[in-house]
Amino acid sequence: MNNTITEPAAIEIRGLRKDYGRFRLGPIDLDLPAGYVTGLVGANGAGKTTLLKSVLGLVRPDAGSVQQARDGRALPGIDLAGTGVVFDQLTVIPEWTARGAAAAIAPFCPRWDATLFADLLERFRVASDARIGTLSRGEGTKLSLALALARRPGLLILDEPTSGLDPSARRDVIDVFAEFMAADERHTILFSTHITSDLDRIADHLRVLAGGQLVEAGPLAEVLERYAMVRGPSAALSAPARAAVHGLREVNGVFDALVNVRHTALFGPEVLIEPAGIDDLVVHLGRTEGSLR
Amino acid sequence: MSGVLRFVRLDIRVQQATLRTTLAVAGLLAVLTWVVTPLPPMIVAICTFAAAIVAVEPFRADERGRLDVLYAVLPVGRAEVVWGRYLTMLGVQVSFAAVGVLLAVAAAAAKAQPLDAGLTSLVLAAGLAINALVLAIQTPVLFRVGYARARWVAFTPIMVIMAIVALAGPSGLNLLRVASALAAAAWLPALFPLAGLVALALSALASARLYGRRDL
Amino acid sequence: MQVILSQTSGIPLYEQITEQLRAAILRGELAEGTQLTSLRQLARDLRVSLITTTRAYNDLAASGLIANVPGRGSYVLAVDREAARAEATRALRDQLGRAVGTAVTAGIEPAALHLLLDEAWNEQHDH
């Protein structure tokens, strides 16, 4: 599996392992390329949140290291002062107002930009004196994003930031990400999500987690080009083809599966071969059927 | 140190937001106990007892707002969070005790009686010390597992008080007689809070260790 | 000039960018020496990934239409009319070859094919 990148890595993860008994993450080697948007995808329970929490230091890994390039050196852990984080659940008291939350957080952030915070709230149409408990899901996420961006971070780490948002809110949020990336060539985003259409356009790189393992990594277009979706009558599936596919599904005599493009010759003319999307990778690489990569 | 102080400021904002609940609980307790023992020095005991009861509130707020995660992604260390929280707790305890003393003075004045300074200072010292003991016991548990999984810990003050009362004798009057005798030794009241502070410091060290290892 | 991307055309985004810029350059709309929008700025304007715009500009540079100067930006080069014409001719040969193949398979006469060509030309030039 090709995990090499020519650009410098903003974050390097080596041998990361976390054991929760029934669920085990790792060992994972992962590079987060600096200056790019990396999408982290995988089914529920694949380990995305655990991975992000390990990177942020919220959970202590059982093994492995997380290093970040800072001041020209690789240093352990993440520089939280330069990192903005958004989780899918708010981490503020419902009784606070938006302005109150900012006032609580600002003293910790050396580069806090109050003007930017106010501008973002206005743009997102979130009232600064609104009590956080009264905000809708979408407004809450936008507030979290405003709080994260007002810290003027160089790195944004986002765990499902657009889940629960209506399409209009998602557009607003993606726009903000695009501006963040344009503002400085060193700005980096790590973005875990289910909503893969968000990634289709703005993600440069892709990392796919399944069952606690990293099963794919690389530039988005390249990763997608490694695979194809195959669909057809089950009868057309030869034994070697059956062994070569990932995540085989058979319903009423029709099958669909993901296959590495190396193996498309195993399929005859009755089988439809189409490009794979990110969703296809998440759905089919997550299953354990099919052993050849 | 600056990280600790910065966290104290944040913690005050956190607790301000839930102040109403805290004061309501404390007020209710104060009223109930005043009905039972209307002796001016006992007001101090009531207030310090109330302070022990509300000591879990910041942790409840942390749980509701998932603030542990917030603290963890801000550039402040887990040990700084712990020491900061202990400082705010200490501040709350001392504030409640101060209010208790003021109320005791006011109550004595209202009854046109002189306030028994020796007994009052002894009650104050004992109250602070017992609270320190209570906090020293329950806070590391709260830091380790969080409020939701440690709700039983809120009963610690009651259990400690009951244990002390049980040890001291069958009736409160016995306790008062012992207390009056002790009150004669003027230096004794100073010892209790000091021991309490030591207990809290040790507790903070334990909490820092436990919280530092906690998976959030 | 504005690049307008289609989500539903099935043509990869980077290719659409390349084609639209190529057309603008060959039309003369983007004069020699014009500095193109930076990679990051374009990525932001079009709401696409940086790698997408990078690939588009790399392809344009490979075709000799622009120069990517590290640290300075991307600039339109002088259009080599000869080379552009030769490349277009080559592309047309491929496309016409396929068109002829389709016609032969369906049994369509060369005269009918010429008519189709005229129709297609008139349609485009009406716009």
Ranges of chain A whose pLDDT falls below 70: 1-8, 287-293
Q: What is the distance between the alpha carbons of residues C72 and A214, in angstroms, rounded to a whole number?
A: 37
CB atoms within 10 A of CB B76: 22
**Chain B: residue nearest A58 by CA?**
B216
* Span of A153-157, B71-75, B208-212, C62-66 with lowest mean pLDDT: C62-66
- Given a cut of 90, whether residue B53 has pLDDT beyond it is no
Q: Identify all chain A residues contacting C49, using CB atoms and an 8 Å cutoff.
A: 36-37, 201-204, 220
Q: What is the distance between the alpha carbons of residues A290 and A245, in angstroms, rounded to a whole number?
A: 5
Name the pLDDT band for B169 (thresholds 50, 70, 90): low
Query: What pairs with residue B92 in β-bridges?
Result: none
Pairs of residues, one from chain A and one from chain B, whose beta carbons lie less than 8 Å apart: 67
Give a yes or no: residue A233 inside a domain.
yes
Place of tokens 């016995």: B174
Say if CB A258 and CB A276 are below 8 A apart: yes
Same domain? A78 vs A210: yes
Secondary structure tally for chain C: helices H, strands E: 5, 2
Of B188 and B43, more confident: B43
Say if CB C48 and CB C5 are below 8 A apart: yes
Interface residue A107 vs chain B (CB under 8 A): yes
Domain region containing B187: 2-213
ipTM at complex level: 0.87
From the CA atom positions of chain A, what is the Rg in Å? 21
The CATH number covering residue A195 comes to 3.40.50.300
Interface residue A6 vs chain C (CB under 8 A): no
Write phi, then psi, for A191 (nearest 5 degrees): -135, 105
Over the stretch B66-116, which tens digit does the pLDDT of each residue have? 999 999 999 999 999 999 999 999 999 999 888 888 888 887 777 777 777
Q: Distance between alpha carbon B147 and the CA centroid of its chain, in Å?
A: 17
Say if CB B113 and CB B119 are below 8 A apart: no
Same domain? A181 vs A241: no
Give a yes or no: residue A1 inside a domain.
no
With CB atoms and an 8 Å threshold, state whether B61 touches A91: no
Say if CB A96 and CB A154 are below 8 A apart: no
* Span of A283-287, B193-197, C53-57, C109-113 with lowest mean pLDDT: A283-287
Task: State the DSSP code for A92.
Answer: S
Domain end (from A207, A223, A239): A223
Give a yes or no: residue A291 inside a domain.
no
Report the pLDDT averaged over residues C99-120. Answer: 91
Secondary structure tally for chain B: helices H, strands E: 10, 0
Evaluate the CA torsion angle C99, C100, C106, C109 in order and state its sign.
positive
Helix (H, G, I), strand (E, B) or coil at B108: helix
**Chain B: residue nearest A89 by CA?**
B66
Domain region containing A234: 226-285
Same domain? A181 vs A99: yes
Peptide bond between residue A27 and the one before it cis (omega within 30 degrees of 0): yes
Give a yes or no: residue A292 inside a domain.
no
Place of tokens 């542990």: B68
CB atoms within 10 A of CB A58: 19
- Given a cut of 50, whether residue B140 has pLDDT beyond it is yes
With CB atoms and an 8 Å threshold, state whether A204 touches C49: yes
Helix (H, G, I), strand (E, B) or coil at B31: helix
Count how many domains chain B has.
1
Q: Is B197 exposed, middle or buried (0-12, 13-18, 19+ CB in 10 A)?
A: middle
Q: What is the distance between the alpha carbons of residues B153 and A84, in angstroms, rounded to a whole number?
A: 35
Same domain? A256 vs A189: no
Q: Is A69 exposed, middle or buried (0-12, 13-18, 19+ CB in 10 A)?
A: middle
Query: What pairs with residue A19 in β-bridges?
Result: A24
Of C83 and B205, more confident: B205
Give a yes or no: residue A293 inside a domain.
no
Per-residue confidence (pLDDT) for residue C55, from 0 to 100: 93
Per-residue confidence (pLDDT) for residue A122, from 0 to 100: 93
**A143-to-A81, A98, A193 alpha-carbon distances in Å:** 19, 7, 18
Query: Which residues of chain C form beta strands (DSSP E)?
Result: 66-69, 73-76
Same domain? A269 vs A188: no
Closest among B124, B150, B125, B127 to B139, alpha carbons compared:
B150
> Which residues, in sequence order, are CB contacts of B55 under 8 Å at separation 6+?
B89, B92, B93, B131, B134, B135, B138, B139, B157
Interface residue A198 vs chain C (CB under 8 A): no
Place of tokens 């983007």: C30
Same domain? A20 vs A88: yes
Same domain? A81 vs A147: yes
Evaluate the CA torsion angle B143, B146, B152, B155 in order and state its sign.
positive
Evaluate the CA torsion angle C99, C105, C110, C115 in order and state its sign.
negative
Q: What is the distance between the alpha carbons of residues A12 and A263, in angstroms, rounded to a whole number?
A: 32
| B near A: at least 3 beta-carbon pairs less than 8 Å apart | yes
- Given a cut of 90, whether residue B10 has pLDDT beyond it is yes
* Span of B37-51, C5-19, C26-40 with lowest mean pLDDT: B37-51
Q: What is the distance between the alpha carbons of residues A255 and A250, in angstroms, rounded to a whole number?
A: 4
Tokens of A16: 């990361």
Count how many domains chain A has.
2
From the CA atom positions of chain C, what is the Rg in Å? 18
Q: What is the distance between the alpha carbons of residues A18 and B35, in angstroms, rounded to a whole number?
A: 55
Q: What is the distance between the alpha carbons of residues A160 and B208, in angstroms, rounded to a whole number?
A: 31
Percentage above 90 pLDDT, chain C: 39
Helix (H, G, I), strand (E, B) or coil at B184: coil
Q: Identify all chain A residues contacting C41, using CB atoms and an 8 Å cutoff.
A: 182
Name the pLDDT band for B31 (thresholds 50, 70, 90): confident
Answer left, alpha or beta for residue C101, where phi above 0 means left and psi between -120 and 50 means alpha. Answer: alpha
With CB atoms and an 8 Å threshold, state whether B17 touches A103: no
With CB atoms and an 8 Å threshold, state whether B74 touches A103: no
Domain end (from A201, A223, A245): A223
> Which residues, in sequence order, are CB contacts of C96 under 8 Å at separation 6+?
none
Q: What is the distance between the alpha carbons of residues A293 and A47, in angstroms, rounded to a whole number?
A: 21
Say if CB C75 and CB C69 are below 8 A apart: yes
Place of tokens 């380790």: B144
CB atoms within 10 A of CB B192: 19
Same domain? A118 vs A213: yes
**Chain A: residue nearest C55 by CA?**
A221
Give a yes or no: residue A290 inside a domain.
no
Interface residue A123 vs chain C (CB under 8 A): no
Q: Identify all chain C residues contacting A35, using CB atoms and an 8 Å cutoff.
A: 50
Architecture of domain C13-76: Orthogonal Bundle (1.10)
Same domain? A165 vs A263: no
Residues in chain B, total: 216
Say if CB A148 and CB A125 are below 8 A apart: no
| Neighbors of chain B with 3 or more C-beta pairs under 8 Å | A
Secondary structure tally for chain A: helices H, strands E: 9, 14
Q: What end-to-end distance do the CA atoms of chain B give, in Å?
A: 24
Same domain? A135 vs A274: no
Q: Identify all chain C residues contacting A202, using CB atoms and an 8 Å cutoff.
A: 43, 47-49
Pairs of residues, one from chain A and one from chain C, whose beta carbons lie less than 8 Å apart: 43
Per-residue confidence (pLDDT) for residue B176, from 0 to 100: 60
Mean pLDDT, chain B, whole residue set: 83
With CB atoms and an 8 Å threshold, state whether A104 touches B14: yes
Domain end (from A223, A245, A268): A223
Closest among A171, A143, A141 to A159, alpha carbons compared:
A141
Name the pLDDT band for B177 (thresholds 50, 70, 90): low
From the CA atom positions of chain B, what is the Rg in Å? 18
Q: What is the distance between the alpha carbons of residues A242 and A291, in angstroms, rounded to a whole number?
A: 10
